[in-house]
Amino acid sequence: MHEVDVAVIGCGMAGLVAARKTSEAKLSTMVVASGLGSTVLSSGTIDLLGYFNGRNVKKPLEVLGDFVSRNPSHPYAIVGRERVLEAFQEFREKYDSFIRYEGSLEINETLLTPLGLFKPTLLAQSSIMRGTRENLEGSKVLVVGFRHLVNHTPALIARSLREIWGVDADYVKLDRSEAQPVPLALLLESNSEDTIKSLNEHNLGSYDYLAFPPVLGLRRTEEIIHEFEDSLGAKVFETMSFPPSVPGLRLQQLLEKPCIENGVEIKLGWQSTEIRDTGQGCKIKIMENDTKQEILSKVVIIATGQLMRDTISIKDENGFQASLNLQAGEYFKTDKEMRLVFNGKTFKNIFAACSAISENYMTGLGTALCTGYSSAVEVIKYLKGY
Ligand SMILES: Cc1cc2nc3c(=O)[nH]c(=O)nc-3n(C[C@H](O)[C@H](O)[C@H](O)COP(=O)(O)OP(=O)(O)OC[C@H]3O[C@@H](n4cnc5c(N)ncnc54)[C@H](O)[C@@H]3O)c2cc1C
């Protein structure tokens, strides 16, 4: 039996942001997760609102009011504009570590995707943010590829840059046997000289930018970029990626780091099957392989994302019983204080934070970030009174 103040179910963006914040407030916090969710698979760039009414959004905060009035059940409407802003600001402050996120909170930048298109986003890892459309326009770009790397086609990116966006671009493929991005990133983390040597065999003199797939290390990305820039004489950036995604893995590790530093236990492979709100707190049933575990907590934050496959049974002290089942098209509803509302019943000690609150309009990591932040703010208010 484990006893904590806060049990968080799910270790994606929403769960880890919530756990970091409750543990900072000196609430003992445990995270349980059946596995890794979509955060680790994602491109790692954080959207607040990239598209609305069929158009790219340039200034997301300017259209947020209109967006929430048309989507009144969207998490941004529940959380409110002020907290959306606080959540993004706090993300910038608290997660400035081995990876740095860049971007103004006012303006979406457009960044290069692995298809050679540009996608609007608010925050991105600095290695990716260097390759905005604005920077590339009027520049000469060499798209660097690795011969066996899956899901990366430098010829396609270079052609799109030339034909769709009018950017002068060529490509080159370097010989490397790694087919998967994570092993290649680990290789470059320990040895970047071989790649520099191979690139120096090409005539790089006329290129302003070298566009790499996002494999420039896991924890040393900034250093590797500087080594490349000093040796190759051109600016270096990473494009966005398909899964499996090194920037997604960097983000996952970045989110876990302060939790671990604050003493949060993260239990992977722990699947929550039942949560009973007793009115005084919660009892959570867990399956770990074939072993049963139980957690007693003052509150639970459900942060199970949209990929949740396993039904969680929810009960209360008065015999109310329901099943949360996203596969059946059910989404989480919360009240303004982020408490779970199900079949008209509000649970006193169960809060929700994740992309599964987003019913109609998917807004990606921004939703998970804001709901994770907001649920933790409400839990701290409830348990600590401030
Ligand atoms: C390929 C891809 C690319 C993307 N690109 C972008 C992008 O460019 N920009 C953007 O903003 N967003 C993007 N997204 C969306 C973004 O990744 C998600 O919206 C976000 O990661 C959701 O975070 P979350 O914390 O809500 O859920 P998740 O990260 O999915 O985490 C859910 C967690 O809950 C756990 N869980 C589920 N059920 C249980 C249970 N019963 N018991 C215990 N644990 C459980 C899971 O194991 C997991 O740990 C992308 C997604 C994908 C898949």
Classify 300 as helix, strand or coil.
strand
**Residue 123, φ and ψ in degrees, nearest 5:** -120, 140
Question: Using 50, 70 and 90 to split pLDDT, how confident is the model at 310?
Answer: confident
Q: What is the mean pLDDT of the segment spanning 226-252?
A: 96
Residue 356 lies in a domain: yes
One domain for residues 211 and 253: no
Residues 362 and 262 both lie in one domain: yes
Q: Do 154 and 191 have their domain in common?
A: yes
**Is 116 a pocket residue for ligand 1 (Cβ < 6 Å)?**
no
Question: For 36-45, 74-83, 243-252, 308-317, which range has the lowest pLDDT when averaged over its residues?
Answer: 308-317
Claim to verify: residue 268 and residue 174 sit in the same structural domain: no
Above 80 in pLDDT, residue 236? yes
For residues 300 and 219, membership in a common domain is answered with no
pTM value surpassing 0.85: yes
Residue 27: inside a domain? no
Q: Name the residue with tokens 């930048």.
A: 109
Measured from the CB, is residue 167 less than 6 Å from ligand 1? no
Q: Do residue 226 and residue 182 come from a single domain?
A: yes
Q: What is the pLDDT of residue 344?
A: 85
What pLDDT shows up at residue 322?
Answer: 84
Could you tell me where the beta strands, DSSP code E, fall in 113-229?
Answer: 118-121, 124-125, 140-146, 168-174, 209-212
Q: Decide if 22 is inside a domain.
A: no
Ligand 1 center–CA 233 separation, angstroms: 38
Q: Among 32, 40, 42, 355, say which to mutate for ligand 1: greatest number of ligand atoms within 8 Å of CB.
A: 42
- For residues 272 and 379, membership in a common domain is answered with yes
The answer as to whether 367 is a domain residue is yes
Same structural domain for residues 332 and 255?
yes
In a domain, 353, yes or no: yes
The answer to the question of residue 58 being in a domain is yes
| Confidence band, pLDDT 50/70/90 cuts, at residue 309 | low
Same domain for 203 and 253, yes or no, is no
Q: Quote the number of domains for the chain.
A: 2
Considering the domain boundaries, does residue 103 fall inside one?
A: no
Position 288 in a domain = no
**CATH number where 85 lies:** 3.50.50.60
* Claim to verify: residue 253 and residue 377 sit in the same structural domain: yes
**How many CA atoms, within 13 angstroms, populate the side-chain half-sphere of residue 84?**
25
Query: Ligand 1: which atom is nearest the Cα of residue 306?
Result: 30
Residue 53 sits in the same domain as residue 174? no
- Residues 6+ positions from 87 with CB-CB distance below 8 Å: 17, 79, 369, 370, 372, 373, 374
The answer on pLDDT for 235 being more than 90 is: yes
**Cβ–Cβ under 8 Å, residues 133 and 207:** no
d(C-alpha 185, C-alpha 194), whole Å = 13
Tokens 């590797």 sit on residue: 224
7 lines ligand 1 (CB under 6 A): no
Q: Does 368 contact ligand 1 (Cβ within 6 A)? A: yes
> With contact defined as beta carbons under 8 Å apart, do 102 and 129 qualify?
yes
pLDDT at 331: 80
Q: Which domain holds residue 59?
A: 2-10+35-96+249-278+294-384
User: pLDDT tens for residues 32-73?
Assistant: 999 999 999 999 999 999 999 999 999 999 999 999 999 998
Instruction: Give the pLDDT band (50/70/90) at residue 360.
Output: low
CA of 247 to the centre of ligand 1 (A): 14
* 164 against 326, higher pLDDT: 164
Mean per-residue pLDDT of the chain: 94
Residue 368 C-alpha to ligand 1 middle, in angstroms? Answer: 8
- Which tops the pLDDT comparison, 320 or 237? 237
Assess whether 56 and 177 both reside in one domain. Answer: no
Read off the tokens for 311: 């039904």
